[in-house]
Amino acid sequence: MIDKISKTDEEWRALLEPDPYLVLRGAGTERAFNGPYWDSKDEGTYVCGACRLPLYSSSAKYDSGSGWPSYWEAVEESHVERKVDRSHGMVRTEALCARCDSHLGHIFPDGPPPTGERHCINGHALIFVPEGEDLPSLVA
């Protein structure tokens, strides 16, 4: 079980730059092919842009053609929570950071083996840590 962290909106605004704040705390979506990491092929780990929880490995990243970073699985299944999202006249599965409840993106059932899932994640929801570098400390 992951210990949750909770901050006021004011505290999140002070910690996050405007674009990450809009995505992570406002459930926004960046424009396709415009956010960070959508075409990155560097090896490493993608952590939550709000609390620094490790979320995705570059080894699970693939080019979905969607214009957003896409992964077929999370680093740990327990690090990404799923929630039904009925916004915009659709029913989708929202992906949330399990530690800070930040919006990451959505999960679709059209990904590659072995999971068949596409975790379509906003680049502004992530921070990339190159392989060989220490993961950043979790934000408390």
The total domain count for the chain is 1
Return d(Cα 108, Cα 121) in angstroms, integer: 11
pLDDT at 88: 84
Please tell me the pTM assigned to this model. Answer: 0.94
The residue segments making up the domain with residue 82 are 9-130
Beta strands in 4-131 (DSSP E): 44-48, 54-57, 61-62, 70-71, 80-85, 92-97, 103-108, 118-121, 126-130
Q: Does a structural domain hold residue 78?
A: yes
What's the whole-number average pLDDT of the chain? 95
More confident residue, 105 or 139: 105
Residue 62 within a domain: yes
> Rounded CA gap, 103 and 12, in Å?
13
Share of the chain above pLDDT 90, in %: 91
The answer to whether residue 29 sits within a structural domain is yes
Q: Which residues are known to be catalytic?
A: 120
pLDDT tens by residue, 50-82: 999 999 999 999 999 999 999 999 999 999 999
Whether 57 is covered by a domain: the verdict is yes
pLDDT digits (tens, 9 = 90+) for 7-22: 999 999 999 999 999 9
The domain spanning residue 108 has which CATH number? 2.170.150.20
Question: Does residue 135 lie within any of the structural domains?
Answer: no
